[in-house]
């Protein structure tokens, strides 16, 4: 068993590596059609496409393509499937493995500021590259004011950048139908190892609770195919990548036991639920990879 902790890489960190031509291997586990539509590209970026459904029962098919001496980033649409695959690669002894936080959705929305010039009478011009989609916006900074040209819908990045660089607000309005001014506090984003959620229960404890007839709410955050192959009886399914958008389906005052395959995804899910105000959340460890009790399957329904 590999004791290396699973790490998440932000889109900002990935953009920095791509623009600086750092070597990185991308394991894209989306369906082939989605992969062919668009993918992460760069001068030193190597990409392998292996659909998640081909890795459900193990990563042997891709293991010999994963080098031991190179950084590897697993990506999917919203991050859930990539965490599942990254977990298995770590279990197989691979060391330098991370997953893309927020998946390709996050990558598609990321804007990377790049200085492109200075103004004659003072000031600077920055290009904001939407690297995942190839779109461009511009910011002109002069005399403590910032104006954005061809702004995209993720306007908070412009506001954050202006504030971080000490430029003052000149009117949250439009000028000449072109410029918009923004101001907002930014939160730094970087590659990180997820903190461990402290409140856990074991597989045995969950089984004892189910057997006793207690009304427990088990939340399974694995992908739909994993859930269909076998889950704890009565568990509800909300895949990790859909948790943010479906969190309103859950009762913040309820008691939830969160389960995944090995405890990694459920750990992250517990942290996010707690951040949203859920008071009683427990991570089930070690999860379904070592579940030795009764399971429901799709054909049983």
The catalytic residue positions are 260
Task: Residue 226: name the closest of 261, 270, 263, 262 by CA.
Answer: 261
Quick one: which H or E segment has residue 164? helix 156-164
By CB atoms closer than 10 A (0-12, 13-18, 19+), residue 38 is middle
Residue length, the chain?
Answer: 301
Integer-rounded Cα radius of gyration of the chain: 22
Separation between Cα atoms, residue 128 and residue 297, nearest integer Å: 48
- The token pair at 104 is 């390709």
Spell 133-156 as b/e; 16+ CB within 10 A means b. eeeebebebeeebbbbeebbeeee
Rounded-to-integer distance, Cα 162 and Cα 185, Å = 9
Q: How far is CA 265 from the centre of its chain?
A: 11
């Amino acid at each position: 068993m590999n004791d290396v902790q699973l790490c998440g890489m932000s889109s900002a960190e990935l953009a920095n590596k791509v623009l600086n031509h750092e070597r990185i291997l991308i394991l894209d586990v989306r369906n082939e059609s989605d992969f062919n539509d668009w993918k992460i590209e760069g001068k030193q970026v190597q990409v392998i496409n292996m659909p998640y459904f081909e890795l459900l029962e193990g990563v042997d098919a891709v293991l010999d393509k994963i080098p031991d001496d190179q950084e590897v980033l697993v990506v999917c649409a919203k991050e859930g499937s990539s965490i599942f695959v990254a977990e298995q690669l770590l279990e197989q002894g691979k060391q330098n493995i991370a997953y893309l936080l927020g998946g390709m959705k996050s990558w598609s929305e990321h804007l990377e500021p790049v200085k492109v010039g200075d103004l004659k009478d003072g000031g600077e011009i920055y290009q904001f590259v939407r690297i995942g989609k190839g779109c461009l916006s511009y910011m002109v900074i002069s005399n403590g004011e910032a104006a954005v040209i061809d702004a995209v819908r993720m306007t908070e990045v412009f506001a954050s950048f202006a504030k971080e660089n000490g430029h003052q607000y000149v009117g949250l309005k439009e000028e000449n139908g072109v410029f918009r001014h923004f101001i907002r506090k930014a939160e730094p984003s970087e590659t990180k190892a997820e903190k461990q959620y402290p409140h856990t229960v074991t597989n045995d404890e969950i089984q004892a609770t189910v057997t006793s007839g207690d009304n427990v709410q088990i939340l399974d955050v694995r992908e739909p195919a994993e859930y269909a192959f076998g889950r704890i009886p009565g568990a509800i399914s909300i895949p990790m990548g859909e948790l943010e958008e479906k969190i309103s389906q859950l009762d913040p005052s309820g008691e939830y036991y969160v389960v995944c395959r090995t405890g990694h995804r459920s750990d992250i899910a517990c942290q996010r639920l707690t951040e949203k105000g859920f008071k009683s959340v427990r991570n089930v460890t070690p999860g379904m990879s070592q579940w030795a009790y009764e399971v429901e399957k799709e054909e049983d329904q």
